[in-house]
Structures are given as C-alpha cells and as structure tokens.
Structure 1
C-alpha cells in the first residue's frame, strides 16, 4: 500500500500505517500519532484504562478533530 498524501503530490512512498478515521495509507512523513482514552462499561459505571491507546491519524483528520 502507498501513502495517499504522497500520491496526491505525484510521489510514491510506502505506507506504514492507516488513518483510524478515513482509512487512507500514510507514510512516516504524513502520519500523526494521537492518544485516546479507552473506556469500558463496568457494573453501573465505566472504567478508564491506562495507558491511553495509540491512534494513527492523517493530517486532514487531525485538523478536523481540532
């Protein structure tokens, strides 16, 4: 799989990850790593897991989430 962002710039670069929101392939240059709390229902409430989960995003989705 190739990086989508590189393809839009007429380059071919091997993707190392996939955006967790829009699912495009990403090379290291265009990959953004974010963290996300993982919450699981337990009994009458929720439990937050630690450490936070790692999440791969493209530049567009990262900006959209603000």
Structure 2
C-alpha cells in the first residue's frame, strides 16, 4: 500500500500507517502522531489509564481535529 498524500503529489511512497479517522494510508513524512489519555466510563475507582495511547492521523484529519 502506498501513501495517499504522496500519491496526490505524483509520488509513490510506501505507507507505514493508516489514519484512524478516514482510513487513508500515510507514510512517515505525512503521519501525525499524538498521545491521548484513555478514559473509561464513569465508575467507582480509576477512570484514566496510566499509559497514554498513540493516535495516528493523516494531515487533513489532524488539521480538522485541531480546528475544532
């Protein structure tokens, strides 16, 4: 599978990740990586996990999430 973003620019680059929002394949140059705390529904005791999760998105979805 090749990077969708590179394909739009006329290049062929192997993809290394898939956007969690739109499902587009992206290469290491285009993938956006963030850490996010995982939360469980409210219940007695601990609600967040100690270790953050990794979220991978494409540049378009990352920009859309940042704009809200």
TM-score, normalisation: structure 1? 0.88
| Cα separation, 1, equivalents of 2:30 and 2:43 | 41
Q: CA RMSD in A?
A: 1.6
| Cα separation, 1, equivalents of 2:22 and 2:46 | 28
Is the aligned partner of 1:31 residue 2:26?
no
Q: Deviations over 1:1-56 (max 9, x none)?
A: 10000000010000000000011000001011011221123635761002110010
Unaligned runs of 5+ in 2: none
- Name whichever structure is richer in strand by fraction: 1
Unaligned runs of 5+ in 1: none
TM-score, normalisation: structure 2? 0.86
